[in-house]
Amino acid sequence: MILGNDKLHAAKISDQLKETHRNFIKTLDFNDWSIIKESKDDVKNFHDKAREEAFWLHLVSAIEFWKKDTSPSFEKTDIFIEKTIDTGFELMDNEPLRKVVDLGKFLFKEKFRKS
């Protein structure tokens, strides 16, 4: 309801919400992978920005889902949020994914070290 149909007004609200959301995400304490903790500052900054953007996209997708949800008491939105959060945490705690990130980090270092 706050967003309304006015695109300019919705964009203004969205910008304010995004900034507030990013500030909130920065206050959370994440148990980062050791490869992130041991990374250089530019890699850590990239990781932090990527995490902020991922959480922002999750919030926006939840709002969009909610706006179209006609289920009683928005039950489907509740399920959507629960399943997407569970999936996200499962991916973050995924050993094969860690290995891929570790490989990517190695290849990134090798490429720029030789250039």
pLDDT on residue 37? 58
The yes-or-no verdict on residue 7 having pLDDT over 90 is: no
Query: Please, what is the angle between helix 75-92 and helix 41-68, to 10°?
Result: 160
pLDDT on residue 33? 53
Name the nearest CA neighbour of 69 among 56, 84, 79, 58.
79
pLDDT tens for 60-109 read 889 889 988 999 999 999 999 999 988 877 776 666 767 777 787 788 77
C-alpha torsion sign, points 45, 49, 52, 55: negative
Mean pLDDT, to the nearest integer, of 15-24? 86
pLDDT tens for 28-70 read 776 655 555 566 666 666 767 777 888 888 888 898 899 889 9
pTM over 0.75: no
* Residue spans per domain, the chain: 32-114
Q: Look up residue 38 and give its amino acid.
A: E
pLDDT on residue 32? 59
pLDDT on residue 79? 94
pLDDT on residue 24? 86
